Amino acid sequence: MAQGMLQGAEKEVAQGATSGSFKHVLVLGCGHMGGALVSRWGEACSDSYQQAEAVATRLPNLFSIIDRSANAPLGTGSLLPPRFRAYASLNDFVQSDKPMVDALLLAVRPQQVLPALSSLLASDKALLSPSATIMSLAAGLPLPRLRAELNASLTSAPPLFRVMPSIPVAIGEGILLISSDGEEKADDDSSPFALVRELFAPMGRSVFCSDELLDKGTGLWGSAPGYLFQMIEAFAESAHALGYEAEQARILAFQTFRGVGIFAEKQHAEKKLLPEQLVESIALSGGTTEAGLRVLRDKETGLVPLMRKAGELAYQRAQEMEKEMGKEIGAKIEK
Ligand SMILES: NC(=O)c1ccc[n+]([C@@H]2O[C@H](COP(=O)([O-])OP(=O)(O)OC[C@H]3O[C@@H](n4cnc5c(N)ncnc54)[C@H](OP(=O)(O)O)[C@@H]3O)[C@@H](O)[C@H]2O)c1
């Protein structure tokens, strides 16, 4: 459509768009992770965030969110921030006559991704702009599988990304592993890589890596919040067993993890201290920390072999899930 022919909401979005950002992002699925991202984008669009962070608005002008679950953490339409629109189904979105989408985020469960993507691409109405960027959060669904699905339905080859966020994105303190089968071109702030980086900027720290590393890292970084919650629980439990009140023990454990994380990062940034040097700096010979560390540093049973084992098992599970997904989707197609 020629620029001069834009109408209504479409005109509003196109005119208001800032350079270096997507204009209209469609988020499909708003459960735990989709909800965390959406709530952070909501915050990042607010005036108070922009003032506090001293950033110019480089976020999309419109977020459309589709989730069929009554429990989706979106609230009712009237509670949504101004740039956000929520729909209970793809059909409702299609009827809404919103402008074309230039970025699609698939935030449904892994086994729901390919069916959801194929119904979206099969819609009679052109929902995606021809160069729309597609992003998937799904664990265990590699880029070639997603690309094959897109190739089967589209004549163009849209930019494709996988994003593996950790749950603290909800407060802007997450990490995001991002992979793509495209090539990044430097110094182009309207390239898909730059736009994806900008979109996720309010979430924490993004790291671009190969799809293989993203897969392998899922069991480590994506699951890390679960592992650390477990460690917080272990600290609180040990303190409680020593006689601390349960809630007092939890508060001490939360503050310990928070304080140590910030302190370690600062020491590394300012003095280039490595984690092992930080350990040495606190584990004085003959002291209490050194005594406790003997258990945690055991080569066979200590934290390092334990973390490796946990990461390996989680990666193994991701591979099993990928196979299960293949069978499940295959069975649906045969029916
Ligand atoms: N949770 C994490 O910490 C985490 C971390 C990294 C990556 N991820 C990835 O993020 C993705 C989402 O995970 P999640 O934990 O947020 O899942 P979730 O809580 O189950 O959220 C998915 C939501 O999408 C809805 N949905 C599914 N298909 C739909 C469709 N066709 N139309 C409309 N709504 C639909 C679901 O509704 P129903 O319940 O009715 O199906 C549900 O509300 C996954 O692919 C996962 O691998 C999650």
Q: What is the pLDDT of residues 4-21, one digit of tens each?
A: 333 333 333 444 444 589
Ligand 1 near 65 CB (within 6 A): no
Q: What is the pLDDT of residues 44-60, one digit of tens each?
A: 988 777 777 666 658 89
Where in the sequence is the domain holding 179, given as residue range(s)?
3-218
Ligand 1 near 32 CB (within 6 A): yes
Ligand 1 near 107 CB (within 6 A): yes
For the CA of 165, the nearest atom of ligand 1? 6
Mean of all residue pLDDT scores within the chain:
86
Q: Which residue has the tokens 């480590």?
A: 220
* CB-based contacts of 27, cutoff 8 Å, min separation 6: 34, 37, 38, 63, 64, 65, 66, 105, 107
How far apart are the CA of 126 and the centre of ligand 1, in A? Answer: 24
Q: Specify the pTM.
A: 0.86
49 plus 180 within the same structural domain:
yes
**CATH number of the CATH domain containing 279:** 1.10.3730.10
How far apart are the CA of 248 and the centre of ligand 1, in A? Answer: 35
Q: Determine the straight-line distance between the first and last CA of the chain, rounded to whole angstroms.
A: 39
Ligand 1 near 108 CB (within 6 A): yes
Q: What is the pLDDT of residues 244-296, one digit of tens each?
A: 999 999 999 999 999 999 999 999 999 999 999 999 998 888 888 888 889 99
How far apart are the CA of 108 and the centre of ligand 1, in A? Answer: 3
Q: Which residue has the tokens 């994380």?
A: 261
Say yes or no to pLDDT of 334 above 60: no
For the CA of 218, the nearest atom of ligand 1? 6
266 plus 157 within the same structural domain:
no
148 plus 280 within the same structural domain:
no
SS3 assignment, position 179: strand
pLDDT band at 178 (very low <50, low <70, confident <90, very high): very high
In a domain, residue 319? The reply is no
